[in-house]
Amino acid sequence: MRIFSVLSAVVVGLLLYVFIMERDLLRAMAGAETAPAEETADTSTLPEAVAVVAMKSTASTVESGLVLRGRTEAMRRVEVRAEVTGQVVSEPIRRGNMVEKGDLLCSLDPGTRPAALAEARARYLEAEANSKASESLVERGFTSETTAIGNRAALQAAQALIEQAEREIALLEIHAPFSGLLESDTAELGELLQPGSECATIIDLDPIKLIGFAPERSVDEIRVGAQVGARLLTGQEFMGEVSFVSRSADPETRTFRVEATVPNPDLEIRDGITAEILVSLSGRDAHLVRQSALTLNDSGELGIRAVDGDVARFMPVTVIRDTADGVWVAGLPDEVDIIIVGQEFVTDGHPVIPTFQGDM
């Protein structure tokens, strides 16, 4: 019993010595033994390569378009108004009739204006005679230069009265300023027109304008002369071209006015009809991909997954146009291998085993 107690004491003493005095040595030995296990664990956590189907895609130039909401608008719309006072003595022309440039719309009663013109002409003759006589007397020294100057001034005043009377008589007839369609009846027979009173309203519908409003982010892509297609609310479809792009934004909507002209020889297109306007933009390099190939990354960004060597890479895209054959997208390299099957089972940097569509 005594020998056993002594041996036990020795063993306990050795163990205490080792744990206390040789602690670093024990830690080194334990690390060396666990390192291979950790390496094995790290190796076991590597993702396995996923088999995917990809397609080789080459960029092509594709025409893009911008859809604007707008309306039709007459090329010109003028309210023809009287400039002098007078009673209408002409028969009215009813709305809807076509008028040519220079056609008589309203004729006003001249009143005493012919008499005023005759008086102005008589005063002119008198002033002319006085002026000639004074000029002759000045040359002979029988009158002063001041008198001659006054007579010349009277002659010029008489000439001005004649021109004023003739202009007022000319303004008694109101003519169409351009060829167009009467949007309102001309003034009724017997109606008294004052300066500024409306005689008629004329609109010019050939060509007709398409008015749209482009957002800030897209207005720089629109060019004057670009082709446009329009579909009216009535179902009519027409082609035209951009004639104006505003440089100033609407202060309330922050949009820019875009105008296009469309031939309208038969006046089929009416003024003020709601229209959907497709503006052709300059060509862009794009890829045609299946809609099913599009995916989202963790940030919610739209794109595709492509084969980059032996791993998958997410590439963001911008949709240009949706067609029956797929979606035209921009933002990719000229040549790219797009994953079309299995893209939802890989993440960015995940190993892949690609099989290309043509090799299947």
Options 3.20.170.30, 3.40.50.300, 2.40.420.20, 3.30.450.40; CATH of 50-62+285-359: 2.40.420.20
User: Each residue of 295-316: pLDDT tens digit?
Assistant: 988 888 999 999 998 899 999 9
Average pLDDT over residues 138-142: 72
pLDDT of 317 reads 92
pLDDT of 130 reads 85
Residue 44 has pLDDT above 90, yes or no: no
pLDDT of 31 reads 55
Return the domain boundaries, the chain. Answer: 50-62+285-359, 67-73+204-280, 110-171
CA distance 50 to 36: 27
Reported pTM: 0.59
- Work out the percent of the chain whose per-residue pLDDT is above 70: 85
Q: Which residues contact 243 (CB under 8 A, 6 or more apart)?
A: 209, 224, 259, 260, 261
Q: 7-16, 107-116, 242-251: which range is least confident on average?
A: 7-16
Residue 247 has pLDDT above 80, yes or no: yes
Residue 37 has pLDDT above 50, yes or no: no
- Cβ atoms 278, 65 nearer than 8 A: yes
Looking at per-residue pLDDT, the higher value among 281 and 219 belongs to 219
DSSP letter, residue 187? P
Confidence grade of residue 40 (pLDDT, cut at 50, 70, 90): very low
User: Each residue of 169-201: pLDDT tens digit?
Assistant: 999 999 999 999 999 999 999 999 999 999 999
Q: Which two tokens stand for residue 360?
A: 């299947």
- Cβ atoms 321, 65 nearer than 8 A: yes
Average pLDDT, rounded, for the chain: 85
Looking at per-residue pLDDT, the higher value among 146 and 51 belongs to 51
Within this chain, domains 50-62+285-359 and 110-171 share the same CATH topology = no
The partner residues of 53 in beta bridges, in order of sequence, read: 341, 355
Average pLDDT over residues 305-328: 88
Distances (CA, A) of 334 to 131, 248, 338: 90, 37, 12
* Nearest residue to 150 (alpha-carbon basis) of 129, 126, 134: 134
pLDDT of 70 reads 92
Residue 34 has pLDDT above 90, yes or no: no
pLDDT of 299 reads 86
Q: Which two tokens stand for residue 226?
A: 């670009």
Looking at per-residue pLDDT, the higher value among 149 and 110 belongs to 110
Average pLDDT over residues 41-48: 58
Residue 126 has pLDDT above 90, yes or no: no
CA distance 119 to 202: 37
Does CATH number 1.10.287 belong to domain 110-171? yes
Average pLDDT over residues 236-246: 92
CATH class of 67-73+204-280: mainly beta
Confidence grade of residue 16 (pLDDT, cut at 50, 70, 90): low
Please spell the DSSP secondary structure of 10-74, one letter per residue. Answer: HHHHHHHHHHHHTHHHHHHHHHHHHHHHHHHHHHHHSPPPEEEEEEEEE-EEE--EEEEEEEEEE
Looking at per-residue pLDDT, the higher value among 145 and 235 belongs to 235
Confidence grade of residue 85 (pLDDT, cut at 50, 70, 90): very high
